[in-house]
Structure 1
Amino acid sequence: MTPPPPRVPGLPLLGNALPMMGDVQRFFVDTYHRLGPVYRVKALNQAFVIMAGQRANRFLLEHGEDVFSSEVSFGGLNREFGMRVHVLRGRPHRHLRKVLATGLSRDLLAARWDDVVRETEQTFDGWRGRRALPVVDACQRLAAAQLSVAFTGASSAARFATLRSAFELVLDVTIAGKWPAAALRLPTYRRARAEILAFARDALADRAAHPTGGPRDLLDQALDAVDENGVEYPLDVRAGMALQGYFAGVNTVAYLYSFMLRALLDNPAVLERVTNEVGAEPITWERLRELPALRGLVLETLRVYPPAPGSARTVTRAFDFEGRHIAEGRRVLVATCVPHHLEEFFPEPDRFDIDRDFTAGRRASVYAPFSVGGHTCLGAGMTEVLAVATAALLVRHLTVTPTHPGRPLRITATPGPNPGRRFLVDLA
C-alpha cells in the first residue's frame, strides 16, 4: 500500500504553528528541500497535506476539478456573504466566473482610469508629511478606495473598517483556523455582517433605480446575473457578487503594494531606475505598456512575496502523488508558489531582479502568484496593471524613508502574507 506523506516535526500541541504564522512561503520552500514535494503539517487544530513544486501545480491544473473541493476552506464566505463562486465546481463555477470576470476586468479599469488616478493622488497627498505611517493599514485603505471606484464608480472609504474587520475574521475562522467558529456568533461580528449585506443590497437597489449609463461594472453585472440555466441568482448571491471584487482584492492588492514599497527601500538601484522611468510624463492608461522597469518591479515582488502562496482544498477522491497516498477527506494546500524560490526555475532566487523573464514561467505553471487552474484569481490582470500605476504615482509624488532603518522584515501569515504592523515609513 502506498504510504502517507511524511509528517513535519513540530512542537507538542502547537505542531508547526509558529513557523507557519510567520514567513509561511519560506517554511514551504525549506520543507520542500528537506522532505520533498508532499508532506503533512499540523498547526494547532488544523492539519494539512502540503503539495509543492512544479508537478504539484500541474496536478492542480489538470486534476483539481476531479479530486478536490473548495467547500470546506471557502464555504464560510458563501454562508456568510453569498460568495458562491468559491465553492462551485464544473459548469456552474465556470459560468459564474465568466459573469464576474466582466465586472473585474482591465477594460473597466481603463474606462475609469482618470477617477482611479485622482483617488490615488488624493490619497498620496494625504500621506505627505506623515511620520511612522503604518504601511499595511495605509495600503489597505488605498486599495479599498481604488477598487471600489473601479468596480462600482464610488468610494467605500466610509465603511472600510467594518468591511475589513468582518472579512478578515471570516478568513481567520474558516481558512486559517486562527479562531473557533464561535467567533462568527459574536454580536459585534453579526452587526458588522448585517451592515455589510445591507450596504451591498442598498448599492444594488440604488443602481437599479439610477443607472449610470457608463461602463457596465460589478453592480450592473450582479443586477442582471443569471445562472448557467438562465435562472436569476438569489439576492444573497447577487449581493455577494457586488462584494466580490472588494473582498477578493483589497488585501491582495494592499499586501502587494506593501511588499513593493519594502522592495524599493531595500533596493535603492531599483528605486532610482523606476523613478527615472516614470519621468515627468502623465501616467496615462496607454503609457502603462511603456514602463518595463515598473512592470518588472511588480512581477518580481509577486515572485518573492506572493500574496497567495497556496490554494486550500479538500480531497473528494483519494489519489497518489509522488509515491504518497492522500486519502479522501484530507485537507490539502497546494503550495503553488514554492517554484518561485527554486534555482532550476529562477536562478539566484533570493536575488531581487526586475529584469527576469516570466513568460516561460507562466507557461510552465511555475510562476503562479495568483494560483493555477479553475480558481485562479479573477482580478489578477487588473491587480498587476493597477500595481504598476500605483508604484509610478508613488515614486512621483512622495519620497519615502523607513522609520526604523535596518529593522529586519518580519512577515506575518494571516489573513495573508504581509509585512506586518512593524513596517512604518516617513513620507515627504
Structure 2
Amino acid sequence: MTLPPAAPGIPVLGNALRMMGDVQQFFVDTYREMGPVYRVKALNQAFVIMAGERANRFLLERGDEVFSSEESFGGLNREFGMRVHVLRGRPHRHLRKVLATGLSRDLLAARWDEVVAETTRTFDSWAQRRELPVVDGFQRLAAAQLSVALTGASSAARFETLRWAFELVLDVTIAGKWPPLVLQRPAYKRARAEILAFARDALAERAAHPTGCTPDLLDRALAAVDENGDPYPLDVRAGMALQGYFAGINTLAYLYSFMLHALLANPGVRQRVTAEAGSEPLTFDRLRHMPALHGLVLETLRVYPPAPGSARTVTRAFDFEGFRVEEGRRVLVATSVPHQLPEHFPDPARFDIDRDFAAARKASVYAPFSVGSHTCLGAGMTEVLAVATMALLVQRLTVTAARPGRPLRVTATPGPNPGKRFRVRAEGRPLSTPSRHSR
C-alpha cells in the first residue's frame, strides 16, 4: 500500500495560506481535486486529510480503535484540566456522561428567565452603539449566556483574560500557529493561574453555599466521581467548571455571527424568521414551534460548520481507500465535506432553510459537530440557544451591514469565523408587548 498523494502547495508554506482562510472550502475543493485521502503541509505541520462520506463512517466505526486525541487536545487537559478531550474508552464515556448532565437543555429551561434577560440587555446596549464588531459582541454575549445558564453567575469581569488565554492555548496546541514556548511567558502564566483560581473559587463558593435549585455544572462537578467511583482530582473538577464558563463560547459566537450574515445576505429568510419570532414574549416552550429559525440554525451549520475537521493521531496503521496511513501520522477527518456535495445536499450553494436534515444526520453526512465518541457535548444546547438568540435579536433590533457590499472573509483560527472585518449597525425596534419571559 502506498502513502496518500500530496496536495499541491507552495514552497515552505505548503497549503498554509489556503488553510488559514476558509478551511472548509479548502477541504471541499481539495477533495474534488485529490479524492478522499491526501496529504497537506502547513508550515511545520503535516496532516493526512480524510474526507467524504466513507471517512465519516470510518471515524464513527473505527475512530476509537486507531486514533488518539492526546496530541491535538492534550493542551486543554494540561493547561485547564479538561480531561474529557483526551480520554478513551470507558473513562471517556463516563466523564462525557457526567458532563452531559451539566450541559442539558433542562438546565437551560430552568434558568430561562435569566438567560433571556441577559440576552435582551446585551441587544439593547447594541442599539446605543454606532458600529458593532460582530464576533466580539457575540463572544461576550455567549460567555454571559453560558455562565448564567450553566453556573448561575456571570464571568463577564474575567472575559478578556479567559478569551485571550484560552484562544492562545488553542492556537498553540491545536492550530500550531505559535510554538509551545509561548505558553511559558509570564503574562500567560499569570492569566492561567487567575483562570484556575477563578474556577476553584467558584467550586468552593458553591460547596459552602448550595443553591438548592436544579443541579448545574458546578453541582455536578462537586459531586462527580470517576468510572471507579473515586472523586475526580480538583484540577479535573475545575476543568469541568471551565467547560461552562468558557469552553463553548467560540462555537456559539461564530454560529451567531454566521447566522446574522446569512440573514443579511438572504432577505427572504430574514423576513420569515422575523415574522415567526413575532413580538410575543419568547418562552422556552415557544422554541419548539419555530421551524424557520430551526432551519436557519441547521442550514448555517451546514454552510459554516464550527468543526469542519476532527484532528487525531494514528495509534495503529490502517488502510483507507487504497492508501496506507501510518502509525504516528496526524490525521484530520474533514467531517463536513459532505455538506457541500450535491449527492447529499442538492444544489449545495443555495442557502435553503427548508432542507430535511433528518436522514443526513442519521447517515453521518450532516456533521457540523463531528461524529463518533468525541462529538461536541454541547451540540444540543448550542442549537437551542442559537434559535433563541436569533429570535430575540430580530424582535429587538434592526441590523444593517456597516460596510454594504463587502464580501465575507472567513478566517480559520481559532475556529472558522467571519473575522474582525464583519461589522454591523443596529437600531432598536419598538416592542408592542410587555417584556415577560416566563417559561
Global fold match (TM > 0.5)? yes
Aligned to 2:200: 201
2:64 corresponds in structure 1 to 65
Q: Which residue of 2 aligns with 1:219?
A: 218
Aligned to 1:363: 362
Q: Is the 8 A contact 2:143 2:246 kept in 1?
A: no
The answer on whether the counterparts of 1:345 and 1:361 sit within 8 Å (CA) in structure 2 is yes
SS at 2:412 equivalent: coil
Preserved contact between residue 312 and residue 330 of structure 2 (Cα < 8 Å): yes
Show the counterpart of 2:163. Answer: 164
| Between 238-247 and 61-70, the greater mean CA deviation after superposition | 238-247
- CA–CA separation in structure 2 for the residues paired with 1:34 and 1:267: 30
Deviation at 1:381, TM superposition (A): 0.3
Q: In structure 2, how many angstroms separate the alpha carbons of the residues matched to 1:221 and 1:75?
A: 23
Distance in 1 separating the partners of 2:7 and 2:318: 21
Q: Which residue of 1 aligns with 2:145?
A: 146
CA displacement, residues 284-319 of structure 1 (integer Å, 9 cap, x when unaligned): 010000000000000000000001101000000000
Tell me the residue number matched to 1:414. 413
Contact kept in structure 2, 1:51 and 1:332, CA below 8 Å: yes
Specify the alignment match of 2:437 in structure 1: none
Aligned amino acid, residue 269 of structure 2: V
Give the match for residue 130 of structure 2.
131
Displacement of 1:132 after TM fit?
2.2
The amino acid across from 1:354 in the alignment is I
Asked if 2 retains the 8 angstrom alpha-carbon contact of 1:131 and 1:403, the reply is: no
In structure 2, the partner of 1:247 is: 246
CA deviation after TM superposition for structure 1 residue 46, in Å: 1.0
Pairwise CA distance, 1:131: 2.2
| Aligned residue in 2 for 1:345 | 344
Cα displacement (A) at 1:281: 1.7
Q: Give the Cα separation in 2 of the matches to 1:345 and 1:164.
A: 36
Residue 96 of structure 2 corresponds to 97
Would you say the 8 A contact 1:103–1:221 is kept in 2? Answer: yes
Structure-2 separation of matches of 1:125 and 1:247? 23
Q: Secondary structure at the match of 2:311?
A: strand
User: Are 1:326 and 2:350 an aligned pair?
Assistant: no
Separation (CA, whole Å) in 1 of partners of 2:188 and 2:254:
24
Distance 2:244 2:254 in 1: 16
Q: Aligned-pair distance for 1:248?
A: 2.8
Distance 1:316 1:127 in 2: 49
Deviation at 1:282, TM superposition (A): 1.4
Structure 1 CA distance for aligned equivalents of residues 422 and 26 of structure 2 = 21
- 1:9 deviates by 1.1
Query: Does residue 232 of structure 2 align to residue 233 of structure 1?
Result: yes
1:53 to partner: Cα distance: 0.4
Q: Which AA in structure 2 matches 1:165?
A: W
2:106 paired residue number: 107
The question of whether the paired residues in 2 share the 8 Å contact of 1:143 and 1:253 is answered with yes
Letter in 2 for 1:162: T
Q: In 1, distance between residues paired with 2:421 and 2:246?
A: 24
CA distance in 2, matches of 1:247, 1:427: 26
1 CA distance for matches of 2:212 and 2:93?
Answer: 28
Give the letter for the 2:344 counterpart.
Answer: F
For 1:183, the equivalent position in structure 2 comes to 182
Structure-2 separation of matches of 1:268 and 1:185: 48
Partner Cα separation in structure 2 for residue 122 and residue 244 of structure 1:
24
RMSD: 0.6
Take 1:395 and 1:337, find their aligned partners in 2: how far apart are those partners?
A: 29
Task: State the distance in 1 between where 2:128 and 2:17 align.
Answer: 37
Deviations 1:306-357 (A, max 9, x none): 0110100000000000111000000000000000000000001011000000
Deviates more, 1:242-251 or 1:270-279: 242-251
Is the 1:201–1:239 Cα contact (8 Å) retained in structure 2? yes
Map of 2:272 onto structure 1: 273
Q: CA deviation at 1:130?
A: 1.8
Aligned-partner Cα distance in 1 for 2:155–2:164? 14
Q: How does 1:285-300 map to 2 (within 5 A)?
A: 285-300=284-299
C-alpha separation in 2, matches of 1:247 and 1:118: 19
Question: Is the Cα contact below 8 Å between 2:151 and 2:245 reproduced in 1?
Answer: no
In the alignment, the residues of structure 2 paired with residue 131 and residue 57 of structure 1 have an alpha-carbon distance, to the nearest angstrom, of: 44
Which runs of 5 or more structure 1 residues have no equivalent in the other structure? none
Inter-partner Cα distance in structure 2 for 1:194 and 1:417:
28
Where does residue 375 of structure 2 map in the other structure? Answer: 376
Q: Which secondary structure state, in structure 2, belongs to the residue aligned with residue 414 of structure 1?
A: coil
Query: Any idea what the Cα deviations from partners look like across 1:16-73, whole Å, max 9, x if unmatched?
Result: 0000000000000000000000011110111110000010000000000000000000
Distance 1:427 1:278 in 2: 18
Mapped contact 1:145–1:155 kept (Cα < 8 A): yes
TM-score in terms of structure 2 length: 0.97
Q: 3-state DSSP class of the match of 1:374?
A: coil
Q: Offset of 1:280 from its aligned partner?
A: 1.8
Deviations 1:70-127 (Å, cap 9, x if unpaired)? 0000001100011100000000000000000000011110110111000000000110
Aligned-pair identity in percent equals: 80
1:310 and 2:309 aligned: yes
Contact 2:20 2:413 in 1 (8 A): yes
Q: Is the 8 A contact 2:155 2:245 kept in 1?
A: no
Q: Which runs of 4+ in 1 moved over 4 A?
A: none
1:42 matched to 2:41? The reply is: yes
SS at match of 2:48: strand
What letter is aligned with 2:371? V
Q: Displacement, 1:247?
A: 3.5
C-alpha contact 1:129 1:426 (8 A) present in aligned 2 = no
1:172 alignment partner, SS class: helix
TM-score by length of 1: 0.99
Aligned to 2:423: 424
In structure 1, the partner of 2:435 is none
Q: How many residues in Structure 1 have an aligned counterpart in Structure 2?
A: 427
